[in-house]
Structure 1
Amino acid sequence: MSYKDAAYSTKLGIIPPDYPTTIWSTERLTAIQHAILEAIRKNQTGAAKPKFNSCTFRPGYLVISCGCDDTANWLKEAVPKLKPWKDAQLKIVHEADIPRPQIFVGHFPELDSTSNEDIISLLDGQNEGLNTNDWRVLNRVRKGTVVEITIAIDPISAEVIKTSNNWLNYGFGKTQLRPKSEGPIDPPKVTEKNSEPSRNRALRKREL
């Protein structure tokens, strides 16, 4: 392989036609991989000899790095014809054209638990239209009595959040999730638990 071939890389995404409304499971992504390999096996007399640099699972879709122009062209022609499961419909696009997760930042007051998983579970359980299974926590910082987390959020959930002016139900009050590009976010709204003076909480614990 020449240096030129080694340095070449065109990344193509294989996505559902209505992505991100539909996202594929890991099982379906694996089935697509198998279908591509089977298409190569049946291409023994074809002019193209597909060469790949990598194949990566992303949340709901597949990204393949092609090793040459012939490979990219072969994949663009082959993928729409694949049937890795009954009635499968596959769309192939350049990776740069795939809708990206959006980055949001939120402040979450102390409740019974402030683990990342429990925070997101509460958001899912108290708000409609969120696809929290597709979210990914990128960063977590403790700031006094609140936790600031940075989250990569799928495009559909991002639109739902924006329609509520970035305020979401959380615990016994509300909190904000705002795009990181908008700068600092407002402090969380005060709830009864959070507004109780620490001295009174200590007294109540001793009384119990």
Structure 2
Amino acid sequence: MSHGTWSKSKPVVSNKSETSVVSIKQSVLPSHRNTHDQCQSQSKVPNREYAKSEKRVKDDTKMKVDLKVAILDKRYPRIILTRDQVRLLEDKLVEALETGPASSVNLRFDGTDFNEGIMWLSCANEATKNWLKDRVTLFGNLWEDSQLSAVDSKNIPKRYKIRIILKDSDDESDIRNRLLRQNSGLNVKDWFMLERCIEGDDLIINYSVDEEALRSLEKLEFKVYYKLGRVTIKVLDYDKGY
């Protein structure tokens, strides 16, 4: 018999009393039933532990999201931060950490990132997040007409990544103007260019667009009018957004 399996015994009884048969059943069946029940109870323990572990992972992920702050221009996405502006912000934040009054709680960060004209900072605790938001409001005009805001990452409007492939190598501004002229209601001015590259005869451009732009593309069935034909827009992360 292989390990971990069992079958009910069928003893051959000859010239034995009914009492003997009963004693055999009583000695065999309960032991198998107990073993089976024990296997079931042991199998439930890892499931409970897995559920607890999964919950901890979800809680940790939620906490990291709650402690993530975005620094951006209040007029975003029409006006976005540049890399030079982000470097200046980094210098000012480090200076504030070093020269500001001591805090009862350590001000700590888990890292920074720059993406789509937004500076992202991952705070290590709630006190750091609150300090960061207050500090950004005190910076004032770091450069001409700066209007900075620090908000929770979850309050940033969801954006989506789309791709357009064209058979020309025109300037990006010319492409936008052409799309705007031939597709009324398509606000391409708010499209944020992520990447632009040429592969063979194809010009490939990836954009980040907001919910409104995505709905406008849906009305066109993701086929925009361009020059003397139509071009298909591919959505790269329709469900996720970012």
Q: Same fold (TM over 0.5)?
A: yes
Q: Distance in 2 between matches of 1:40 and 1:168?
A: 49
Where does 1:172-191 land on structure 2 (aligned, <5 Å)?
Answer: 172-177=228-233, 179=235, 181=238
Q: Distance in 2 between matches of 1:150 and 1:101?
A: 16
Worse-matched range after superposition: 129-138 or 20-29: 129-138
Q: Which structure has greater helix proportion?
A: 2
Q: Which residue of 2 aligns with 1:124?
A: 176
Match of 2:193 among 121, 129, 135: 135
Q: Which residue of 2 aligns with 1:201?
A: none
What is the CA distance between 1:56 and its match in structure 2? 0.4
Are 1:28 and 2:85 matched, yes or no?
yes
Q: Which residue of 1 aligns with 2:69?
A: 12
Q: Would you say the 8 A contact 2:77–2:190 is kept in 1?
A: no
The unaligned stretches of length 5 or more in structure 1 are 1-5, 183-208
What is the CA distance between 1:178 and its match in structure 2? 5.9
Partner SS state of residue 65, structure 1: strand
Q: Distance in 2 between matches of 1:127 and 1:164?
A: 15
Q: Distance in 1 between matches of 2:93 and 2:206?
A: 33
Q: Distance in 1 between matches of 2:228 and 2:92?
A: 49
Q: Would you say the 8 A contact 2:108–2:123 is kept in 1?
A: yes
Letter of the structure 1 residue corresponding to residue 77 of structure 2:
P
Q: Which residue of 2 aligns with 1:98?
A: 156
Larger Rg: 2
* Pair 1:127–1:157, CA change in 2 (3 A): farther
Between the aligned residues of both structures, percent identity stands at 19
Q: Which residue of 2 aligns with 1:158?
A: 213
Partner SS state of residue 136, structure 1: strand
The unaligned stretches of length 5 or more in structure 2 are 1-59, 181-186
1:58-88 deviations in Å (ceiling 9; x for gaps): 1111000001121112112211111332453
Q: Would you say the 8 A contact 1:101–1:152 is kept in 2?
A: no
Are 1:61 and 2:135 matched, yes or no?
no
Q: Which residue of 2 aligns with 1:198?
A: none
Q: Distance in 1 between matches of 2:96 and 2:215?
A: 40
1:89-113 deviations in Å (ceiling 9; x for gaps): 22111112212332335565xx4x5
Are 1:42 and 2:94 matched, yes or no?
no
Q: Distance in 2 between matches of 1:32 and 1:86?
A: 14
Worse-matched range after superposition: 74-83 or 98-107: 98-107
Partner SS state of residue 68, structure 2: strand
Q: TM-score, normalised to structure 2's length? A: 0.53
